[in-house]
Structure 1
């Protein structure tokens, strides 16, 4: 079987990471969570009191994605496992801003492309099919309604003990959509050859099956 790369893009909380992880596991591929990379850099940005010298910031960044049998994929920032801090409200509120900065994106894209060089990668984010992996054999653009995305984020926050309001989450998601789609560098947009998958009202299993069918067609 020829190894392929799969690019999954879409707005916040559309289910990209969950589905990408499932697809990777079911097809013996490697999952790369690009959002976690940007969240890790955002965490460092916050730790340094929001210093906007992003070139200096990334020069002091070492990122590694490692797999733990009990906890799954973990993110190491300069050797420290910071995975449990990446979904905090403060990181979530600042990640779009940090990820829009040219030094940050240049650094992250380079790391992501290196990871995908050997193929067999499932990668999700905002600009994977358009910028990071423009030659990916399969590109998915995943969407869902604002209401459903807010409910998913609320459930995720509850599971992680993070206080949040459903109405506030809806406002934050709408604001983030607007910011991500209109930022100057690598805005969120659907690649011309991407296939739209609407996850509204669908279970994780149903969406995984849809993408698995698409993989079968690419590999056939």
Structure 2
């Protein structure tokens, strides 16, 4: 069987994007980061002064958005590159807020499916294997303890120069977990048929090797 679609789901900080990016590079696949699209919508909406608690306002705003994922993985909204801006700490919170709304999720799925047409792709997110590509050939669900995920995120932010405390990051991780698991639309769940990998205490190389073996045995 030729593997053309791989999905990696899991909570914030489980290592989805990093591992998906490395796998995509090794396998020659296109990396689609669904979280980046949600972040881009959230950041763009805030820039325009949209009330992110107003579903009607957010849904109306979506009609004015053109979102494109370049081959390099960079995200453009109406021709503006928001790749760096969406990676700021606030980007994750904004993404989780607007992800509650069905119209936003439909927009993200539309963008990602269009980007995947005729390509071999690795998609990571909260519902990559459940809603975006339920027909994926290989489905992975990455997880880790909230403390482990907060430590990773804390190190990442400190390296980028952000002045944050570990307790602050841990609280944000727990808040996102709660929002993602309890939203009415497409809550974070393990996709049917997914292989669950706990990344706590594992290196990125170890996890990548484990997934590579799974892909190899799926062919």
TM-score by length of 2: 0.94
Decide whether the 8 Å contact of 1:20 with 1:31 is kept in 2: yes
Q: Separation in 2 of the partners of 1:102 and 1:54?
A: 11
Give the equivalent residue in structure 1 for 2:214. Answer: 214
Give the equivalent residue in structure 2 for 1:137. Answer: 137
RMSD: 1.4
Aligned residues: 215
Structure 1, residues 103-145: CA drift from partner, whole Å, max 9, x if none? 1111111121222332411000011111111110100000011
Aligned partner of residue 49 in structure 1, secondary structure: coil
Q: Separation in 2 of the partners of 1:155 and 1:84?
A: 17
Give the equivalent residue in structure 2 for 1:196. Answer: 196
- Could you tell me how far 1:188 is from its partner in structure 2? 0.5
Decide whether the 8 Å contact of 1:181 with 1:189 is kept in 2: yes
Q: Separation in 1 of the partners of 2:111 and 2:22?
A: 22
Give the equivalent residue in structure 2 for 1:16. Answer: 16
- Could you tell me how far 1:210 is from its partner in structure 2? 0.3
Aligned partner of residue 118 in structure 1, secondary structure: coil
TM-score by length of 1: 0.93
Runs (4+) of structure 1 exceeding 6 A deviation are none
Q: Separation in 2 of the partners of 1:3 and 1:192?
A: 17
Give the equivalent residue in structure 2 for 1:205. Answer: 205
Q: Separation in 2 of the partners of 1:192 and 1:36?
A: 24
Q: Does 1:161 align with 2:165?
A: no
**Of the candidates 40, 62, 71, which is equivalent to residue 66 of structure 2?**
62
Q: Structure 2 stretches of 5 or more lacking a match?
A: none
Q: Structure 1 stretches of 5 or more lacking a match?
A: none
